[in-house]
Chains A and B, each alone.
Chain A
Amino acid sequence: MFLKKNIGAKIALLPMIIISLTVFVGCIIYSFIYSLTNSKLIPVFNYVGFDQYERLFKTRKWDVAVENIFIYGFVFTIGCLVIGFLLAVLIDQKIRAESLFRTIFLYPYAMSFVVTGLVWKWVLNPTFGIEHSMHLWGFTWFELDWLVNRDLAIYAVCIAAVWQGAGFVMILMLAGLRGIDEDIWKSLSIEGVPKWKSYIFVILPMIRPMVITSLVLIAAGVVKVYDLILALTSGGPGYSTTTPAMYVMENFFSRANLGQAFAASIIMFISVVCILAPWAYYEFYFRNREAKA
């Protein structure tokens, strides 16, 4: 019964299911098994229990990496959503040369993170970026040393990331705004609701699917952030902008410390599951029941 329903679609999905199971699940199991070994350059089954995890949690660099991913995740998601929505609202005001602005704001998204990283590296570099130009113009009090200040460097990364991501959110939101019926606007204006209030309390809930889509797409980018930071700071100054993904890659390749890399990636995987599980449960199970009821 279960099998017969949509049998064509199920057959079409079969390759994907097989790939998912073997590649993703298989690799996760493989990673977990070898995270219990002291493999160095090549995977060797030399069981050491949870030593790698113990070492991982004792490492100051890992703490910094975890803290950074939270700062980055928070600032990047909120920044993109707020700025993206504001840009969409502004463009929605039937302005002149709309497509020009749309292109300008979306343009950064067309670039690779590596390019974004390099551009912002030059802009924010105190010895030849904005700070230097301001000094040359006589504003010697001007200071913009975020990139080389170990406490602020992660926020410099966030700025670059928001600059790239906000335009993408703007387009999604704009599509949502354009889908709003003219009649709703008319009735809102008859009721005399101020524009900002109608946006926040009426329109925003109506484009909820767009907000969720943006959120999911952006959040997926958070966990895997790697290339941007590599190009912008390479994890520096010191290791103040390092992230879990960078920690894993480093241990895989330059450090020839496979066991540690596997342990770190398993921890990354578990934390992603912990964050996604309640949401997935809500979206797929709870709401299904809601819909049926």
Chain B
Amino acid sequence: MKKFFSILLTLFIPLSFTNASKAAGHMEAEVIHWWTSGGEQAAISQFAKAWEDMGNTWIDTAITGGENARGTTVNRIIGGNPPTAAQFNISKQFVDLVEQGQLQSLEEVASAEGWRDFIYPKALIETCEFEGEFYCVPVNIHSSQWMWINKEVFAKAGVAEPNTIQEFINVAPAIQDAGFIPLALGGQPWQESLMFDVVLSSTLGRDYSRQVYGDKDVSAFRDGRYELALQTFRDLNKFIDEGAPGRLWNEATAMVVEGKAAVQIMGDWARGEFAVAGKVAKEDYNCVIPGEEKYVGLGGDVFVFPKSSDPKVKEVQLKMASMMVNPTVQANFNNAKGSLPMRLDVDTSAADACMTMGLELIKNPDALLKDSDDYNSPAFVNAWDDVLTEFRNDSGYSVADAMDDLENVLTSGL
């Protein structure tokens, strides 16, 4: 029996020691994130470097894939061993955590530093603010409303580069005749729904998008315009090659980079693939936000700080939150990431032609578009995507049936 207890003790001693050293030493922070590709690693290491320059220790817990990383964070919070900071998207993904009182309020540092004055666009504040207190730090902005165009393919096919989805549908047959794939798509639900949302916002505008996704207005949803968007989405189908199902987004981008395909509709992160291949914006490839009126969405990333019973942890968390919004750190981080900063007073002289377009657009409040996941829970967004992906892949799934199924989701209260 004695032996048993001594074994038990030795098992627990190291645990208590690590806890003690965490509390006593200098500031140590564990950060969970899913930035694992080359460019992303370069970006997160800007945060790590800034943190370590302040004389602290950065424990990097990189987990491949956003879902896995978020799952780990939630599991560890429930298990009582939360990380110091964790990445989420600009969305409703972490609302539950706030409501259950699992996150540290950052209000102290936010009001002291005047976050509400410099965070731009203001919509980012809405993402992070719950009952007048800040619970997350937005770190960057990514928009998904982009059409990536291989200029050479259009020159060979002898047609003009499109500025709207309809113009693209008009010239696509000529591209097909010239032996190219007009539209490169990765047939995964999120990519299909990204493409659909670009069709929707670029043809029907920002207000309509808000009425459906934000207000869940059934009469606006049923007034015929949504059907039109679904039909356009289906029209695009014949310009996509049959190998699309299951393809990754960067494989589809590679098709455009290599000149096999003419166009990809994808977020601004696709720019990195062109850059890695040594292509120059506006010379080798073009980036267009389709539509008569241009919109940029407010996707991106935030960091949240799970509550801890240890009061020292709060101090660390507030310090890190303050570091993440620092203009110099923001400039280094976003230049490495290729995303837009969350404040306007940041040096963006390193931006390329496409990124500059985004920077200009984002200054105009009327051009800012909220995506479905800015309004809705992940369960809602995914149920919606289910219908869209099935609609694209099953030509027997009629527009009317899809509308009924979508209305079920719209009124489900998810």
A238 with B389: CB separation less than 8 A: yes
Contact for A253 among B71, B246, B405, CB less than 8 A: B71
- Which A251-290 residues sit within 8 Å CB-CB of chain B? 251-257, 260
A41 with B242: CB separation less than 8 A: no
Task: State which of A74-82, A144-152, A161-169, A214-222 sits at the interface with chain B.
Answer: A144-152
Q: A148 and B394 in contact (CB under 8 A), knowing A41-B74, A254-B67, A256-B378?
A: no
A256 with B96: CB separation less than 8 A: yes
B96 with A236: CB separation less than 8 A: no
A58 nearest CB neighbor, chain B only: B408
B377 with A256: CB separation less than 8 A: yes
B188 with A234: CB separation less than 8 A: yes
Contact string against A for B residues 209-228, beta-carbon threshold 8 Å, 1 for contact and 0 otherwise? 00000000000000000000
Counting contact residues on chain B (CB < 8 A from A), the size range is 35 or more
Task: Tell yes or no: A239 within 8 A of B by CB.
Answer: yes
Contact string against A for B residues 168-192, beta-carbon threshold 8 Å, 1 for contact and 0 otherwise? 0000000000000000000111000
Chain A contact residues, majority secondary structure? loop
Task: Tell yes or no: A55 within 8 A of B by CB.
Answer: yes
A238 with B379: CB separation less than 8 A: no
Task: Tell yes or no: B61 within 8 A of A by CB.
Answer: no
Contact string against A for B residues 233-244, beta-carbon threshold 8 Å, 1 for contact and 0 otherwise? 000000001111
> Inside 8 A of A240's CB, which chain B residues have their CB?
390, 393-394
> Inside 8 A of B67's CB, which chain A residues have their CB?
253-254
A251 nearest CB neighbor, chain B only: B379
| Bound Cα distance from A250 to B96, whole angstroms | 18
Task: Tell yes or no: A127 within 8 A of B by CB.
Answer: yes
B394 with A60: CB separation less than 8 A: no
Contact for B246 among A44, A58, A121, A254, CB less than 8 A: A121
- Which B64-90 residues sit within 8 Å CB-CB of chain A? 67-68, 70-71, 74, 77-78
B97 with A254: CB separation less than 8 A: no
> Inside 8 A of A43's CB, which chain B residues have their CB?
78
| Bound Cα distance from A41 to B71, whole angstroms | 9
- Which A82-120 residues sit within 8 Å CB-CB of chain B? none
A41 with B97: CB separation less than 8 A: yes
A257 with B379: CB separation less than 8 A: yes
> Inside 8 A of A255's CB, which chain B residues have their CB?
378-379, 382-383
> Inside 8 A of A41's CB, which chain B residues have their CB?
74, 93-97
Q: A236 and B97 in contact (CB under 8 A), knowing A255-B382, A256-B378?
A: no
The smallest C-beta distance from A250 to any residue of chain B, in angstroms, reads 7
**15 residue pairs A–B, Cβ–Cβ below 8 Å:** A41-B95, A41-B97, A58-B408, A127-B242, A147-B245, A147-B246, A153-B245, A236-B245, A236-B389, A253-B68, A253-B71, A254-B67, A255-B382, A256-B377, A256-B379
**A-B pairs, 9 with minimum CB distance:** A127-B243, A238-B393, A41-B96, A237-B245, A257-B379, A237-B393, A238-B390, A254-B67, A253-B71
Other 8 A-B pairs with CB < 8 A, given A41-B93, A240-B393: A42-B102, A147-B245, A148-B187, A233-B245, A236-B245, A236-B389, A237-B246, A253-B71
